[in-house]
């Protein structure tokens, strides 16, 4: 049903998933967000798929500490928010993930109580480890490459505390730490997107032919020019620099 929903401008894009659609428009575009949204409303009328305006939100992303922040006029009858959830990941307009991490900590703390109860019922160590990975590790790994590079040392401390506590109390047979989980997740996902058949392979830079190799390289892509710290923290740029 969403296959023929396309933006008016090639600069703008839709992120479509099932019955949800996210419209992304950069600061410099030839068709602004208001016209694009009008096009979306026209499409919904033609296809008899009414938009739920109460669930439709607008968020304006910007650098964490801009020298001058001038926000565009809001879209009529659409609530502008400073925090939103995208496919299970809570993100703020300045690319901070404190709220997402706090949500993970809350969920994991509740699930640790379940693990404690199961251990008290004499559940085997191997079974506890399986449940620990299902309930705790999966919560941290969810979309980790997308947000893991933006966390601070202050954010990592409570996550590592949960992982360390789990190992200490025997819920897990393996000692985990957040940094290791992030590095492994980054490496695994980067290897996948290097395949030309992957849906986001087109986001990678062009291959850079090398006359000779003085040492083994992790990839042959051209390295990006990094002007801002925030740009360096995004997954693809982070992976290109870390796995070179």
Give the pLDDT confidence of 162-180 residue by residue, as tens digits: 999 999 999 999 999 999 9
pLDDT over 90 (residue 59): yes
pLDDT digits (tens, 9 = 90+) for 199-239: 899 999 988 876 566 666 778 898 888 888 888 999 999 99
Average pLDDT over residues 32-53: 92
Q: What's the pLDDT at 244?
A: 80
Nearest of 47, 8, 15, 13 to residue 30 by alpha carbon: 8
User: What pTM does this model have?
Assistant: 0.85
24 has which bridge partners?
Answer: 13
Q: What's the pLDDT at 224?
A: 87
Q: What's the pLDDT at 215?
A: 65
Q: What's the pLDDT at 3?
A: 79
CA atoms within 13 A on the CB side of 27: 7
Average pLDDT over residues 183-188: 95
Own/partner long-range contacts of 230-233 (Cβ < 8 Å, ≥24 apart): 230/63, 230/64, 230/95, 230/150, 233/149, 233/150
Q: Tokens 């506590």 belong to which residue?
A: 165
What are the domain boundaries of the chain? 13-81, 98-177, 184-242
Q: How far apart are CA 38 and CA 152, in angstroms?
A: 39
Full DSSP string of 138-169:
HHHHTTHHHHGGG--HHHHHHHHHHHHHHHHT
Nearest of 210, 214, 209, 238 to residue 224 by alpha carbon: 238
DSSP 28: S
- Region of residue 202 (left: phi > 0; alpha: psi -120 to 50; beta: else): alpha
């Amino acid at each position: 049903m969403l296959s023929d929903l396309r933006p008016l401008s090639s600069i703008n894009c839709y992120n479509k998933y099932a019955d949800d659609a996210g419209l992304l428009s950069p600061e410099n575009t030839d068709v602004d967000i208001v016209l694009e949204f009008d096009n979306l409303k026209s499409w919904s009328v033609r296809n008899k798929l009414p938009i739920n305006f109460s669930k439709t939100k607008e968020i304006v992303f910007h650098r964490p500490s801009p020298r001058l922040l001038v926000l565009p006029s809001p879209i009529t009858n659409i609530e502008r928010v400073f925090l939103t959830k995208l496919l299970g990941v809570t993100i703020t307009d300045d690319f901070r993930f404190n709220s997402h991490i706090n949500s993970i900590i809350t969920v994991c703390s509740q699930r640790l109580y379940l693990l404690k109860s199961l251990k008290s019922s004499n559940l085997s160590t191997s079974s506890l480890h399986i449940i620990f990975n299902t309930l705790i590790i999966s919560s941290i790994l969810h979309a980790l490459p997308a947000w893991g590079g933006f966390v601070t040392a202050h954010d990592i401390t409570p996550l590592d505390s949960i992982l360390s506590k789990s190992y200490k109390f025997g819920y897990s047979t393996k000692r985990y730490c957040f940094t290791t989980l992030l590095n492994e997740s980054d490496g695994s996902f980067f290897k996948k997107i290097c395949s030309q058949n992957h849906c986001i392979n087109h986001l990678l830079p062009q291959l850079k032919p090398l006359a000779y190799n003085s040492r083994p390289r992790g990839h042959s892509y051209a390295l990006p020019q990094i002007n801002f710290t925030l740009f360096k923290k995004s997954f693809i740029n982070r992976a290109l620099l870390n796995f070179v």
